[in-house]
Structure 1
Amino acid sequence: MSQTLNLLTDIPGIRVGHATDLALGSGVTAVLFDAPAVAAVQIGGGAPGTRDTDLLRAEMTVERVDAIVLSGGSTFGLDAAGGVQAALREDGRGIRFGGINIPLAPQAILFDLLNGGNKDWGRFSPYRDLGYAAARAAAAGEFALGSVGAGTGATTATVKGGLGSASGVTARGHRVAAIVAVNAVGSPLVGEGPCFWAAPFEQGAEFGGLGLPQHFGAEDLRPRLKGSAGTATTIGLVVTDAALTKAQARRLAIMADDGLARAILPAHAPTDGDTVFATATGAVPLGDPVAALTLLGHTATQVMARAVARAVFSATTLPWPNAQPCWQDRFGERNKA
């Protein structure tokens, strides 16, 4: 079994679409499942913004969802799921109640309202339309990383954030992949240099191949925090082709959430709303429920950490005065071979 794109779409049956509005300085990313997928969620941040996450708890009746939505816009961005839901309903998707299709598209948002762009949108926010556009743009295969979709207005404590993805295969042959929008209170970089905290997990040179510094000092480990309180949150999704129950998917989400803590320092802060979904397409039997799930979580931790670094490595500085510089602008030239 070989991965082809190092993206979430390496899992068969997954489509990803972005809607990016540079004038707004924000956007939406929609992940659509060709068939409803078992889903769960882990909320590790202190200031989350979500829609329909209660139904993902293990004791709740609904087991499967049609899509997962990641968006900027803070609570205004929660309108995006309505746009994705509208597109899915047009396609005849959803649970059928009394002759009506009700698609399920749980969502998490990040705060990008103070990061530039024109947020004077009038009475209604643009996020429902952006959600619809993202759903209509969803496709299998390659999709853009960096300052696109939900990562458009994302920032971190040190460099521009963005949208990232990575994939891997467990020792038992299950596929696992992650997608993440990185808008953290903390920093993905070691100190003031170009190296990523996620460097031990890097595959090839997917985010520069720099490794870790040879030595760590107190200056490298001191807190680097975003200056504006409440302007944060990293949101993401890990998907596997294994057959999981909701409870098993919840454990996978918890372990994938550890990938944020291995790639961002600090993570899960009081003003982060860090949220990680986990979904399972069920195409491949799980096997041993303890050993195989442990391996899934081991790989999920790594692909999430890699996706965080790829998000930052791929980001571009937005075309606004005083916009936060991206990694490439700060470090790209000095690290070219």
Structure 2
Amino acid sequence: MTASLRNLLTDIEGVAVGHATDLVLGSGVTAIVFDKPVIASGSVLGGAPGGRDTALLDPSMTVETVDAFVLSGGSAFGLDAAGGVQAGLRQIGRGLTVGTTKVPIVPQAILMDLLNGGNKDWGRHSPYRDMGFQAFEAAKSGDFALGTVGAGTGATTATFKGGIGSASARTKAGHTVAALVAANALGSVTIGDSPHFWAAPFEREKEFGGLGMPATFDTDMRLKGINVTATTVGVVLTDAVLTKAQAHRLSILAHDGLARAVLPAHLPFDGDTMFAAATAKKPVTDVAELMEIFHLATLVTARAIARGVYEATALPVKSAQAAWQDRFGKD
């Protein structure tokens, strides 16, 4: 019997997700940990990205597998987080064998949340390495929280508080595809001043309010600032058997989902980055199956972004950006 979906990244077998959240700091870390190395790639389409070990994800590079992905707030300071996840993996003997040692492979993408009102006066060293280790230790294979948690803690968008969202789907052949995204866009996830989401055509089971599309469209550009960096970062996974080149294509299709959920996307001050991986649990028998996996990567990414904004709550700081729920949520 096919297991039912929880509409989370952990619907992919062999995947665990953990958050470290600091509401006073107004930032956090999310670790996506695999129970064994997975074929992985990724792509960057934003103009102001920040990442660690992202170059090795290029299909032409030698290393094909990763042990974990990390998403983090903190802008460039947040790049310390991968070291914490690496420490956790090393502690349990994980990593790429190089001679007599093992090196955990942990690509990371960061988002800009330094201007959200949280207390960033952390002293000499940033807290992100410790938060990375905390996120690793918190990683579990079942349900995990959405909204203002982990890498989505300090996320914002042009109109409402951003956050962590996730979504999953299954192909006709039984392959599972799922995404987890920290929505921190320079643009807007909602249409004009309405409660409607750009991703509404792809919504399932009222996962972000079930409001559908508005009667009329306001397509005027809404930005959270000029010369303010943002960045939506995420992961799309499948249990299918894919090559590294196919995983790279999966990440590009995820960017298509980002562009269907955020308007505008991939701006010069966004650092939009999508990772992709395949756990290789289920073979792909023909091209039609592969195409549907790519198609669903677009849809689950768009849904995850909308869900992250829908589930978010405002930070407990002065002048914090209001959440969608503050204006449109039910009492």
| TM-score, length basis structure 2 | 0.98
Task: Find the aligned partners of 2:292 and 2:47 in 1 and give their Cα distance.
Answer: 28
The equivalent residue for 1:319 is: 316
The equivalent residue for 2:33 is: 32
Kindly provide the amino acid, as one letter, of the partner of residue 221 in structure 1.
Answer: T
The equivalent residue for 1:270 is: 268
Report SS of the residue matched to 1:221: coil
Kindly provide the amino acid, as one letter, of the partner of residue 316 in structure 1.
Answer: T
Shift, 1:229, TM fit: 2.4
The equivalent residue for 1:235 is: 233
Percent identity of equivalent pairs: 65
Kindly provide the amino acid, as one letter, of the partner of residue 148 in structure 2.
Answer: S
2:296 is aligned with 1:299: yes
Task: Find the aligned partners of 1:223 and 1:91 in 2 and give their Cα distance.
Answer: 48
Report SS of the residue matched to 1:55: helix
The equivalent residue for 1:175 is: 176
Task: Find the aligned partners of 2:252 and 2:328 in 1 and give their Cα distance.
Answer: 33
Report SS of the residue matched to 2:82: helix
Task: Find the aligned partners of 2:162 and 2:4 in 1 and give their Cα distance.
Answer: 25
Kindly provide the amino acid, as one letter, of the partner of residue 315 in structure 2.
Answer: L
Task: Find the aligned partners of 1:56 and 1:41 in 2 and give their Cα distance.
Answer: 6
1:94-120 deviation line (CA, Å, top 9, x unaligned): 012222110001000000001111111
Kindly provide the amino acid, as one letter, of the partner of residue 329 in structure 2.
Answer: G
Count residues in correspondence: 330
The equivalent residue for 2:7 is: 6
The equivalent residue for 1:19 is: 20
The equivalent residue for 1:281 is: 279
2:149 is aligned with 1:155: no
Kindly provide the amino acid, as one letter, of the partner of residue 16 in structure 2.
Answer: R
Task: Find the aligned partners of 1:195 and 1:105 in 2 and give their Cα distance.
Answer: 36
Task: Find the aligned partners of 1:104 and 1:315 in 2 and give their Cα distance.
Answer: 30
The equivalent residue for 2:108 is: 107
Q: Could you list the runs of 5+ residues in structure 1 that have no partner in the other structure? A: none
Alignment of 1:137-216 (within 5 A): 137-216=138-217
Task: Find the aligned partners of 1:320 and 1:123 in 2 and give their Cα distance.
Answer: 23
Task: Find the aligned partners of 1:187 and 1:21 in 2 and give their Cα distance.
Answer: 25
1:230-269 deviation line (CA, Å, top 9, x unaligned): 3300000000000000000001110111000000000101
Shift, 1:4, TM fit: 2.7
Task: Find the aligned partners of 2:120 and 2:131 in 1 and give their Cα distance.
Answer: 14
8 Å Cα contact 2:24-2:316 kept in structure 1:
no
Task: Find the aligned partners of 1:298 and 1:3 in 2 and give their Cα distance.
Answer: 20
8 Å Cα contact 2:180-2:235 kept in structure 1:
yes
The equivalent residue for 2:125 is: 124
Kindly provide the amino acid, as one letter, of the partner of residue 321 in structure 1.
Answer: K
8 Å Cα contact 2:5-2:169 kept in structure 1:
no
Report SS of the residue matched to 2:237: strand
Task: Find the aligned partners of 2:96 and 2:206 in 1 and give their Cα distance.
Answer: 43
1:73-97 deviation line (CA, Å, top 9, x unaligned): 0000000000000000001000122
8 Å Cα contact 1:187-1:224 kept in structure 2:
yes
Report SS of the residue matched to 1:77: helix
2:331 is aligned with 1:330: no
Kindly provide the amino acid, as one letter, of the partner of residue 305 in structure 2.
Answer: V
8 Å Cα contact 1:113-1:231 kept in structure 2:
no
Kindly provide the amino acid, as one letter, of the partner of residue 195 in structure 1.
Answer: H
| TM-score, length basis structure 1 | 0.96
Shift, 1:59, TM fit: 1.1
8 Å Cα contact 2:40-2:275 kept in structure 1:
yes
1:286-314 deviation line (CA, Å, top 9, x unaligned): 122x3222111100100000000110000
Shift, 1:2, TM fit: 4.2
8 Å Cα contact 2:239-2:281 kept in structure 1:
yes
Task: Find the aligned partners of 1:131 and 1:14 in 2 and give their Cα distance.
Answer: 17
Q: Could you list the runs of 5+ residues in structure 2 that have no partner in the other structure? A: none
1:144-182 deviation line (CA, Å, top 9, x unaligned): 000000000000000000000000001221100000001
Task: Find the aligned partners of 1:101 and 1:23 in 2 and give their Cα distance.
Answer: 36
Shift, 1:228, TM fit: 4.9
8 Å Cα contact 2:147-2:163 kept in structure 1:
yes
Task: Find the aligned partners of 1:292 and 1:102 in 2 and give their Cα distance.
Answer: 34
1:210-236 deviation line (CA, Å, top 9, x unaligned): 0001222xxx11000112523300000
8 Å Cα contact 1:3-1:168 kept in structure 2:
no
The equivalent residue for 1:69 is: 70
Report SS of the residue matched to 1:240: strand
